[in-house]
Chain A
Amino acid sequence: MVKVGKPNKIKKIFAVRGMGQVITVTIGLIILCIVFSIVNPIFYSGKNIANLLRQIAPILIIGIGQSYVLITGNIDLSIGSVVGMSCMISATMMTKGVNPWAAVLITFICCLAVGILNGELVSKCKLPPFIATLGTMTIARGVAQIVNNNYNTGSIGESAQGFRNFFYYGKTVGLYNAIWITIVMWVVFNFLLSKTRTGRHIYAIGSNVDAARLSGVNVHSTTIKAYLVSAVCACTVGLMTCATTGMGTMDAGNSYEMYAVAASVIGGVSTLGGQGLLLGTVVGASIWGVLQNGLQFAGAPVAIRNITIGIIVVVSVLLDVVVRTGKHRKKKTS
């Protein structure tokens, strides 16, 4: 969290749109952590914290991508399939003996193509984002299946050990690389979103496309940029999955796009566009990961986790609505 010196700074922080919900869910996250720690002390052992952070990493990365797209007022359903595509393309090339880093480069190019296609379909061809990305989601999953002839790949082999360490297993300064990658991506994309013109344009087209266009924002290129960020994030997670398992699985990343929406929405990103903070996405993804990990230590069945996540998505957004309507002193909605 941000250290606060002066009272007017506090006001400033609260004035940021969407900060209210970030604070609410952060409190929720802390409560969750305390409860799980009481139920099973192993939960807050150092070993588990490292393990937990690494489980949060992929959800947070795709959450960043989805947040970008949601803030522009669109949605990206192709994320999960791009994860699978990236995992399969990279693994297939490595099993065929391609240098891992060359494989990573080619994988990125393929995934960026999907991002550009998404952006073009949505902003140039005026397709509803839900439909356009539903199409690319299916196409990308098909690509994931076709690259290795409809089979999962074998092991990517010893030569790819460097790649596996870089993306997942290795540690730098005591933290897993997967966590470092996540931190770096978050810092870069948070800077882009909150401190640059492109970031402001992304918020602008999400708030009001026509107003943005009239004030000279290039809606087309901004939309493409948002989808590109999403593709980069999904591609990274795919490479991570490949590094984790040491093989390519065709259904890697299955339904990740919805996990990403959940992480974003819990963190206060509005699906209507124009509102949300990447800080919230961190909290959203953390809640997801903490539930997954904590409930296992508490010995709860998997179904409970899904139910809880669903409830948290609804409640966190509901809280925000209640708080905001209260602020505007409107009548209570029943």
Chain B
Amino acid sequence: MKKRVLSIIICLCMFFVAACSKDTATGGSSTKGKDNKYKVYLITMDQMDQHWVNVDAGCKKAVKELGNIDYEWLAPDVKDDAKQIECINNAVAGGANAILLAANGPDAVTSALKEAQSAGVKIIYVDSAADYPAIQTLATDNEAAGKTAGEEMMKGLTAAGIKEGKIGIVNVNAATASCVAREKGFRSAFEGTSFELLGTQYGEGDAAKSKDIAANYITSSCVGLFGANEGSTVGIGIAIEEAGEKIIGVGFDKSDTILELIKGGHLLCTMAQNPDVMGYEGMKTAAKALAGEKIGETNIDTGVSVITKD
């Protein structure tokens, strides 16, 4: 009896959900939504990094100034292509006029974007682009930023009187285009020097895993360590702090923990992107595009600032 009641309830729930999703799936035209406002979504890789929180803050600032935007931030709970695609589909179903997207990978989301565009949604990339044409990409030129990181490390090594040695690289994974480009730029800075760059190890952006990898690098007597994103950087920072040796650590992104590690002298510097600029300018571009104005520049480098102890 209990089972029967339960199964009926479950069936009803399913019907209800199915009915709801049917209703919303027909949205997504490029007319203005409720109270004459454009609906703009920000979709990021996840919700965890402070980086995304700053993009969101930049968006909010622009929304305040513009006044005709109904804005919402959507993100999967973890970095996952399938979940990001779901977010895009949800945004389209929710009647988005424009989407600001930080793509997880270059290829995974392209077909979802195609669908979104054919539903009349305008697409703008913030932070990392996918392989699909969009109105504008506002991102850090990661390769250039990576090269800057490499040059900073060279300076640090030279200052410490180190002329040769091994350098370890901790990255997220092989699929995140932005981090791969940073690594490429970083490696290019060392071309023709007598430093040996070891094979990259991937820590999935997880601070604890990255720390283990960095500790292994330190035991194989590396003189320098490079972290390609926030989690990797925290990992190398705490590994250096613990080893207490003079190892030059250079990283990416800005968070409280990273700043503390720099203050403590465990990391030489970090390349801070300007996520707030991405969000702010991205939202402005979206508003322009929705108003039918011309967008000149398709690629905007939002630059990095090198943050050191001082």
Which residues of chain A have a CB within 8 Å of any CB of chain B? 40, 42, 45, 47-48, 51, 55, 141, 145, 150-152, 154-155, 169, 241, 244-247, 249-252, 254, 292-293, 296-297, 299, 301-302
Contacts and interface: CB of A to CB of B under 8 A. Distances in A.
A45 B216 CA distance: 11
Contact of A297 (B49, B202, B220, B256): B220
B183 to A, nearest CB: 14
Given A155-B256, A245-B238, A254 B206 contact: yes
Given A251-B48, A251-B206, A302-B201, A246 B257 contact: yes
Interface in B157-199: 198-199
A293 B213 CA distance: 8
B39 interface: no
B13 to A, nearest CB: 16
B256 A249 contact: no
Contacts of B151: none
Given A169-B242, A254-B78, A299-B198, A154 B255 contact: yes
Interface of B: 47-50, 53, 77-78, 198-199, 201-202, 204, 206-208, 211-213, 215-217, 219-221, 231, 234-235, 238, 242, 255-257, 260
Contacts of A301: 199
Contact of A245 (B49, B201, B234): B234
A145 B231 contact: no
Contacts of B255: 154
Contacts of B256: 154-155, 247
Contacts of B207: 244-245, 247, 249
15 contacts: A48-B216, A48-B219, A51-B215, A51-B216, A55-B212, A151-B53, A155-B257, A246-B238, A249-B48, A249-B208, A250-B48, A250-B77, A254-B204, A254-B206, A297-B216
B198 A47 contact: no
Contacts of A55: 212, 215
Given A241-B208, A246-B238, A251-B78, 8 more contacts: A40-B220, A55-B215, A145-B77, A151-B48, A152-B48, A152-B49, A245-B238, A299-B198
A244 B238 contact: yes
Q: Which 9 A-B pairs have the closest CB atoms?
A: A154-B256, A245-B207, A48-B219, A155-B257, A152-B48, A296-B216, A42-B220, A241-B208, A55-B212
B211 A244 contact: yes
Most A-side CB within 10 Å, residue of B50, B198, B216, B221: B216
A296 B198 CA distance: 10
Contacts of A302: 201-202
Nearest to B215: A51
A299 B213 CA distance: 12
Contacts of A47: 219
A47 B199 CA distance: 21
B208 A244 contact: yes
Most B-side CB within 10 Å, residue of A152, A247, A254, A299: A152
A271 to B, nearest CB: 26
A252 B216 contact: no
A45 B221 CA distance: 12
Contacts of A141: 77
A252 B48 CA distance: 12
Given A51-B216, A251-B48, A254-B206, A299 B257 contact: no
Nearest to B199: A299
A150 B78 CA distance: 11
A152 B234 CA distance: 13
B219 A249 contact: no
Contacts of B242: 169
A298 B221 CA distance: 14
A42 B219 CA distance: 7
A40 B49 CA distance: 36
B225 to A, nearest CB: 13
A55 B256 CA distance: 26
A245 B211 contact: yes
Contacts of A245: 207-208, 211, 234-235, 238, 257
Contacts of A246: 234, 238, 257
Contacts of A254: 78, 204, 206
Nearest to A145: B77
A152 B257 CA distance: 11
Nearest to B204: A254
